[in-house]
Amino acid sequence: MILKSLNNLVDRNDKKFFFVIFLSIAISAILETISIAIFLPLFDVIFGGQLSDNYLIKNFNNFFNTENYSLTLLIFIIVMIFIFKNLIYLFLIYVKMKLINIFAEKKKVFFYRHI
């Protein structure tokens, strides 16, 4: 019963809007996870390799060969990843807000017509 009333309220184009919003939220969550995980190699370098027995750090070090990088280069890479992540994140927020405003305007018009 509730699903039928929701289908009447939301048309096919609106479902596309919601899918884009959901997709942008998923991308944002992945980017946040990456931004938190990027600190592990930095901590390993700062603590002088004391964290190298961690499984994730071992895999990261083997994949990227971080033992050959200096601390300055590692910090520069982390800063660039954060800048890139935040630019994408700002774009996704802009898209979400634009879609939400379009949806709200369409529903406002829909409700005014049916009152």
Q: List the domain boundaries for the chain.
A: 12-109
pLDDT in tens, 51-89: 666 676 677 667 766 666 676 777 787 788 888 888 888
Residues of the chain above pLDDT 90, percent: 0
Question: Which amino acid is it at 89?
Answer: Y
Q: Which residue, among 50, 45, 48, 29, has the nearest Cα to 78 in the 3D structure?
A: 45
Q: Which residue, among 88, 43, 41, 89, has the nearest Cα to 65 in the 3D structure?
A: 41
What are the residues whose beta carbons fall under 8 Å from the beta carbon of 34, sequence distance 6 or more?
Answer: 81, 85
Q: With a cut of 60, say whether residue 1 has pLDDT above it.
A: no
pLDDT on residue 50: 66
Residue with tokens 């991308």: 27
